[in-house]
Structures are given as C-alpha cells and as structure tokens.
Amino acid sequence: MPAGRFKHVWIRATLLVSFFGRAAVGRSLAASGLAAGLLLAGIAVPAEAATYYSATLRTAARSLPVAAESNAGYDRTRYFGSWLDTNRDCQNTRAEVLLQEARSAATYTTSRRCTVRTGRWLTSWDNRTHTSASAVQIDHTVPVHEAWGSGARSWSQARRVAFYNDMGDSRSLNAQTSALNSAKQARGPESWMPPANKCAYIGQWIAVKIRWGLRVDSAEKAALIRYADSCPNVKVNVNRV
C-alpha cells in the first residue's frame, strides 16, 4: 500500500464511531493494511470470510459455541511469533498500538522514531494515566494461550500470526497497566476480571471470540452470560475474519 494511502486510512480509522468508547470497526491497519504488511513480510495471509455479526451483548454471549479447552502442544513463540512491522515503517505492532491510543504527542527513544518512549495513556482496566511507555504492556484481550486452546491450535500459521498482530479491531489489543496485565496472565473472565470497566471488558472479550471464531469452555460461557446479564444490553458489532 502506498505510504500516502496508508496514512489516509490510518486517519480515517481513528474517526470511526466507538463501541464502549472505542472504535468498533477497527484500527487503520484493518484487513487490507494488515494483509498488505504480511505479504510484504513474505507471509501468506488467509482469506477473510468478510462476514459481519451484530447482536445484543446477552445474545452474543449465549451464541458462543462451547467446547472443552485443549492446550496440548502450546508454544507461543513457535506458533504465534512476535510483534511485526507490517508496513515496514520501523514501528512494530506494540508501537502502533501505543501511538493510536496515546492521548498526547509521543516521543521516541531515537531519531528514527521506531520505539515509543513517552506519551499519555489512560488504561481502561484501572482508569490510570501513564506517561512512560515502559509502564504499560500491550494486552491480547483474549490471551494467546486461551486462543490456542479455544481453536487456534488447528489454524494455519499465517492465521495465528495475524491474530497475534490483529490491528483490524481495536478490541483485540490494548495498552494496559503492566502489573494488571501480569496478574491476568492467560486467565479468562471465569477466573479474572479487571478492577474497572468490567462490562466493556466482557464486550471486548466476546467480540474477539466472535471475530476469530473461537470457542468457549462451559465455565467461561457461564461467566460471560452472568456478567452480560448484569451489564447494559448494548449491540456487539464484529467483522469476522
């Protein structure tokens, strides 16, 4: 994708209507941008189903397919890789998420502007403000280990790498307080919830599961339904991949 067009898409994406105060239809590196970057990196990209899902939160929670979780053979680095620089601007996925979520101009560690040093981030799990990039981690809303056991084990390598670097939906990856991200680890809503904005978190979790066609185990589904029933019954809109 030409640089000018990429930046134009980036700007347009940030203006889209939000879900729980965030863009529901995704970041600027939506399907086309991510696919283009992966192709530049020499990685085959699976075709998108191009299907759209919309339902209320409570209906969406109940629609998730149930299956026992199987984590045999999990290896994060081997099967999911790491942050990519999909558009080859020297900023990897971590940097791109930090830049999109920054509420003030960012500074960088070098003049090349590859690695973010400072900015201002409001982390949604605890409503805290951070000014140092090192104080936050980029969280996979649905942890990679959870994804593996919920269906990603049978995916192609390209699809797993795309999941790891998913910037096509702003609910997939978020900057969060490092200590809370470490506390969450690979746990789902049945055993861990953030101290703040629980309803938003449940909506994000459900949206990511639907987006990637991931299953839930019985304890996870029961927790999702229980939380959804106590939250505003908002619409969950998802572009599946």
pLDDT above 80: residue 133: yes
Comparing CA positions, the residue from 160, 139, 174, 175 lying closest to residue 213 is 160
**8-58 confidence digits (pLDDT tens):** 333 333 333 333 334 333 443 334 344 434 433 334 444 444 599 999 999
Of residues 139, 140, 95, the one with CA closest to residue 119:
95
pTM: 0.81
DSSP one-letter string for 74-125: --HHHHH-----TTSSS--HHHHHHHHH-SS--EESSTT--SEEEEEEEETT
| 153 pLDDT above the threshold of 60 | yes
117-144 in b/e form (b: 16+ CB < 10 A) is ebbebebbbeeeebeebebbbbbbbbbb
Average pLDDT over residues 70-79: 97
Predicted pLDDT at 50: 54
- Per-residue pLDDT tens digits for 154-196: 999 999 999 999 999 999 999 999 999 999 999 999 999 999 9
Q: What is the residue-averaged pLDDT of the chain?
A: 86
Domain residue spans of the chain: 3-239
